[in-house]
Each structure stands twice: as structure tokens, then as C-alpha cells.
């Protein structure tokens, strides 16, 4: 565990330290596209955050290769090299897209090629568990098609959900944490060495996301862009392929007494990891809904719009920060709930807890304008959003420093004062500032 934690920390540190210089490079390189109609942010923000994340991945693999226990993994398996090859290819495609906006079909072809490169180096699905039957061995063609499909689906699911500050990095970090617990349990809990690469991939992915999040939380100073979203999607898919598609059923028989019993015992996690519907359930649902919605409206499935789940959360009244936290909550509930159920599937308390937390999530989802208030004696210690209103007017007497950012976040989400499409950035900033100033002046005069 200590070597995994060291690898995680090194990856996070390298990613964090490189993100600042990468931001300056992105500004100089002109990787700051204009505000589009579907965008939530108001000012042009540099992309190319995936550059720092890719070098964090390289640093994590390099450190792991020189650690006493993890170095054996690089000698026994070719999967780390396969991951690095596929990640380098998908990262280059993402960098080109962040700068030049390449065609969606070209990106899709690049994703398939990156998946094929990993397959050629041994990172592929060899068998899948089937309920009531056991492990089904796949031939080379079937394994290749299933692996490529899984990689492409996961990459696009993560790419589609990357629409709010810190959303994609946080959700993938949560998914990777749940995945790490699952893979680590297989590796050290049952002694299955085939789970070691997946455990390493998950630890590195957590470090990549944690290192980038401080720069990407609202208001974001830099976006990961396609170079980052496609990269972390590929790493997440590689871990799922390594853990689910390459673990031998004979190894599980030693712990559960038979292949069929082993399949049933691990089924709550095996099938979802094969087609990652739990660790990225929310991005995957968003992907399916987007394809159906765009096809139904006669548009291309790759045509961007403002119909994603995070856009809908903003439309019903949630602030930017609250929408991100709600998505975090559901991702953590599905991911960690599945892992907990796989460990104690016979316990009804796990199921009751999942149902209870789901009810809490629905309540939070359906009460977008609920703002809890603290006692008056504690109002000076909290942001203005948690203070009581006076005579129907907003208390704006203490909107300075860091509190001003929090109040502006709620005001932006509540009024949705977005400038018309085509206005320049300075004009949009001036309109937003003037509107907020007039609101505050009117509030002060009415009080």
C-alpha cells in the first residue's frame, strides 16, 4: 500500500506543479477558444491541461518502475507499456484538438487506433463472466472488438461530462478511488497477481485528477481540454480491461470453491467493471441521453449542445458549485456502493444504506433553491449565501474578498445573466458587472 500511495503522491505533485506553466504556455500558444453558446464560463480560459496530466502519468509509471515491489510488475506484464503507448497517442490527438478543433470523426478514429495499439501490446479482454455459466473465453477478434468498444465508450463518456469546472476530474477521481479498492482487494485480499496492473493504473489516475483539481475547481484557471478528458477516460478504461478481462477464473476458484460460485460471488462488480456502468455510471448515462437526444432532433451524435445533465442542473436553479457536488455525490454513491455490496453482498444493511442515501440525493436534487441559514451569531464566519435575508433584500454588506466569489456564484446561477452569443469578452464582463452593481444599488436603496 505504501508504494501505491507514494506513486499516487508523486503523480499528483508533478501534475500540480506543471499545470501552472502549462497554463502560461496555453495562453501564449493561443489555446483559448472564444466563448461558445453551450459554454457555462464567461471568460476565455486556456485549455491544454492534459499536458500536465500526461506528464504526471509518465512520472507515476517511472517511479513505480523503480520501487522494489512494483518493479516486478513491469517485468511480468507488458500492460504498463501498453497503457503508456495508447495514452501518448490519445494525448497527442487531444492536444491537436485543443489547439485546432479537429473533426469529431477524426478523433473517433484516433480513439480506435489508440485502443488497437493497447490490444496489440496485450492489454485486451480475454474472457468475461456469464451468470450461471462461468468464464467465457473470447477469441482474438471478439476480444479486440470488445476492448476497442469499451475504450471508445469510456473516453467519450468522460469527454461528454466535462462541462463544468472540476466536474470531470472529480468524478473520475471518485471512480478511480472505488476502482482502486476493488482491484486492491483482488490483488492483496485474494492474491490474484493479474489485478496488480489495474491497482497501479487506478492509483496513478487518482494522482492525475487530484493534482489537476486545485487549478480546475470553480472558477477554473485552466481546462483539461480533450487532451485531458480523453486521457483520463483511456486510463480508466485500461484499468477496467485489465481487472475484469484478464483475471483467470481458476484463480477465483481457489477462494470460492468453483468457477460458477466465483462468478456469482464477484458478479456485483465484475459485470459493471466489464462495461463500466458503475464507476462512470453518470457520464455513461449522459452519453446515452445525448446520443438519443441529438439523433431524435435530426442532429449528429457529435453535435454539441446544452442538454447535458450538468446543464439541466443549472437550468433548474442549482448553482455551479452545487451542481458539481450533486454529480460527485451520485458518482460516489454508485461507485462505492457497488464495491461495498460486492464485499458484503449478503448484508441487507448495505442495500438499506444505498437506498437511504439515494433518497437523500433525490431530495437534494429536487430542492435546488434550498439555502440553509446559520444562527445570526455565526453569520460573520460563513459566506453571504448562508446568511439570513433582511426585508427581502440581499445582505451585501460583506461581499468582499473570498466571499464575493461565493455570492457571485449564486447570483450567476440564479439570474443566468449570460451575454448574447457573439459579444466580445470585455463586453460580456462589463455587462455582468454593471448588472450586479445595479442590483446591489437597488437592494441598498430599498433597505
Residue 390 inside a domain? The answer is: yes
Place 416 in a pLDDT band, splitting at 50, 70 and 90: very low
Residue 332 lies in a domain: no
- Whether 339 is in a domain gets the answer no
Helices of type H across 101-195: 104-120, 140-161, 167-184
Is there a single domain that holds both residue 103 and residue 214? yes
- Are residue 380 and residue 271 in the same domain, yes or no? no
Residue 412, domain member (yes or no): yes
Boundary residue ending a domain (214, 246, 276): 276
Lowest mean pLDDT among 66-70, 99-103, 411-415: 411-415
The strand pairing partners of 130, in sequence order, are: 134
* Between residues 402 and 334, the one the model is more confident about: 334
pLDDT exceeds cutoff 60 at 371: no
Helices (H), 194-319: 196-216, 225-245, 249-256, 259-274, 281-296, 309-315
Is 385 inside a domain boundary? yes
- What is d(CA 93, CA 101) in angstroms, rounded to the nearest whole number? 10
- Between residues 117 and 368, which one has the greater pLDDT? 117
Residue 394 lies in a domain: yes
Answer yes or no: is pLDDT of 132 > 80: no
Compute the residue count for the chain: 447
Q: Are 287 and 160 in contact (CB under 8 A)?
A: yes
- The pLDDT value recorded for residue 394 is 40
Look up residue 321 and give its three cell numbers: 458549485
Note whether 211 and 49 are within 8 A (CB).
no
40-44, 89-93, 245-249, 428-432: the lowest-pLDDT one: 428-432
Total domains present in the chain: 2
Angle between helices 225-245 and 50-65 (to 10 degrees): 40
Residue 19, C-beta contacts closer than 8 angstroms, at least 6 positions apart:
49, 52, 211, 212, 215, 222
Residues 260 and 392 in one domain: no
Query: Residues 205, 265: contact at Cβ < 8 Å?
Result: no
Residues of the chain by 3-state class (helix, strand, coil), percent to 5:
70, 0, 30
Report in angstroms the alpha-carbon separations of 213 from 37, 58, 218, 256, 279. Answer: 25, 18, 10, 40, 19
Please, which residues bridge with residue 393 across strands?
390
306: in domain: no
Range of the domain at 147: 2-276
Evaluate the CA torsion angle 233, 234, 239, 242 in order and state its sign. positive
Considering the domain architecture, whether residues 261 and 381 belong to the same structural domain is answered as: no
Highest mean pLDDT among 135-139, 273-277, 393-397, 429-433: 135-139
Q: Are 80 and 56 in contact (CB under 8 A)?
A: no
- Statement to judge: residues 380 and 264 lie in one domain: no
Chosen domain end from 216, 243, 276: 276
Least confident segment among 180-194, 260-274, 283-297, 316-330: 260-274
Is residue 117 scored above 60 in pLDDT? yes
Residue of 365 and 203 predicted with greater confidence: 203
- The burial class, CB within 10 Å (0-12 / 13-18 / 19+), for 424 is exposed
Rounded Cα gap, residues 302 and 108, in angstroms: 10
CA dihedral over 252, 257, 260, 262, signed as positive or negative? negative
Q: How confident is the model at residue 10 (pLDDT cuts 50, 70, 90)?
A: very high
pLDDT value at residue 68: 86
Q: Long-range contacts for 112-117 (Cβ within 8 Å, ≥24 apart)? A: 112/148, 112/152, 113/89, 114/86, 114/87, 114/89, 114/90, 114/151, 114/234, 115/86, 115/147, 115/148, 115/151, 115/152, 115/234, 116/144, 116/148, 117/82, 117/85, 117/86, 117/89
- Verify that 250 and 383 share a domain, yes or no: no
Q: Assign 282 a pLDDT band (cuts: 50, 70, 90).
A: low
Helical packing angle, 320-343 and 167-184, nearest 10°: 10
Whether 190 is covered by a domain: the verdict is yes
For residue 134, which phi and psi values (nearest 5 degrees)?
A: 120, -155
Q: Cβ–Cβ contacts within 10 Å for residue 303, how many?
A: 12
Q: Please, are residues 172 and 205 in contact by the beta-carbon 8 Å criterion?
A: yes
Out of 213, 244, 276, a domain closes at 276
For residues 195 and 84, membership in a common domain is answered with yes
**Average pLDDT of the segment spanning 433-445:** 47
Pair (199, 62) in one structural domain: yes
What is the C-alpha to C-alpha distance for residues 399 and 76, in angstroms, rounded to an integer?
59
Quote the CA–CA distance of 97 and 164 in Å, as a whole number.
Answer: 19
pTM above 0.85, yes or no: no
Q: How far apart are CA 185 and CA 191, in angstroms?
A: 9
Helices (H) and strands (E) in the chain, counts: 17, 2
Q: Could you tell me which residue, 17 or 247, shows the higher pLDDT?
A: 17
Amino acid at each position: 500500500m505504501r508504494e501505491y500511495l507514494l506513486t499516487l503522491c508523486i503523480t499528483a505533485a508533478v501534475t500540480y506543479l506543471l499545470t501552472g506553466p502549462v497554463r502560461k504556455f496555453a495562453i501564449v500558444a493561443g489555446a483559448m477558444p472564444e466563448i461558445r453558446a453551450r459554454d457555462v464560463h464567461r471568460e476565455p480560459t486556456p485549455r491544454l491541461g492534459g499536458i500536465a496530466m500526461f506528464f504526471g502519468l509518465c512520472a507515476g509509471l517511472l517511479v513505480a518502475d523503480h520501487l522494489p515491489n512494483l518493479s516486478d510488475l513491469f517485468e511480468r506484464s507488458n500492460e504498463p507499456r501498453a497503457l503508456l503507448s495508447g495514452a501518448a497517442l490519445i494525448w497527442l490527438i487531444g492536444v491537436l484538438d485543443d489547439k485546432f478543433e479537429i473533426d469529431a470523426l477524426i478523433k473517433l478514429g484516433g480513439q480506435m487506433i489508440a485502443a488497437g495499439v493497447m490490444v496489440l501490446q496485450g492489454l485486451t479482454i480475454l474472457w468475461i463472466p456469464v451468470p450461471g455459466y462461468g468464464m467465457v473465453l473470447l477469441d482474438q477478434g471478439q476480444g479486440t472488438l470488445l476492448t476497442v468498444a469499451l475504450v471508445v465508450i469510456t473516453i467519450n463518456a468522460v469527454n461528454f461530462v466535462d462541462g463544468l469546472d472540476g466536474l470531470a476530474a472529480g468524478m473520475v477521481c471518485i471512480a478511480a478511488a472505488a476502482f482502486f479498492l476493488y482491484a486492491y482487494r483482488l490483488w492483496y485480499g485474494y492474491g490474484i497477481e493479474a489485478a496488480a496492473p489495474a491497482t497501479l493504473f487506478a492509483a496513478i489516475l487518482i494522482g492525475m485528477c487530484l493534482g489537476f483539481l486545485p487549478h480546475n475547481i470553480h472558477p477554473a484557471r485552466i481546462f483539461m481540454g480533450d487532451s485531458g478528458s480523453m486521457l483520463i477516460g483511456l486510463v480508466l478504461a485500461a484499468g477496467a480491461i485489465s481487472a475484469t478481462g484478464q483475471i483467470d477464473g481458476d484463480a477465483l476458484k481457489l477462494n470460492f470453491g468453483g468457477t460458477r460460485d466465483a462468478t456469482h460471488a464477484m458478479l456485483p462488480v465484475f459485470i459493471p467493471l466489464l462495461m463500466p456502468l458503475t464507476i462512470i455510471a453518470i457520464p455513461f448515462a449522459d452519453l446515452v441521453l445525448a446520443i438519443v437526444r441529438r439523433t431524435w432532433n435530426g442532429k449528429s451524435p457529435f453535435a454539441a449542445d446544452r442538454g447535458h445533465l450538468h446543464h439541466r442542473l443549472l437550468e433548474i436553479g442549482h448553482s455551479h458549485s452545487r451542481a458539481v457536488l450533486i454529480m460527485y455525490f451520485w458518482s460516489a454513491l454508485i461507485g462505492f456502493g457497488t464495491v461495498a455490496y460486492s464485499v458484503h453482498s449478503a448484508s441487507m444493511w448495505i442495500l438499506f444504506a444505498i437506498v437511504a442515501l439515494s433518497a437523500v440525493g433525490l431530495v437534494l436534487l429536487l430542492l435546488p433553491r434550498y439555502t440553509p441559514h446559520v444562527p445570526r451569531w455565526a453569520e460573520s464566519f460563513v459566506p453571504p449565501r448562508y446568511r439570513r435575508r433582511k426585508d427581502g433584500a440581499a445582505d451585501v454588506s460583506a461581499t468582499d474578498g473570498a466571499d464575493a466569489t461565493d455570492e457571485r456564484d449564486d447570483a450567476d446561477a440564479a439570474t443566468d445573466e449570460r451575454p448574447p452569443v457573439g459579444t466580445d469578452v470585455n463586453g460580456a464582463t462589463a455587462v455582468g458587472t454593471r448588472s450586479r452593481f445595479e442590483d446591489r444599488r437597488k437592494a441598498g436603496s430599498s433597505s
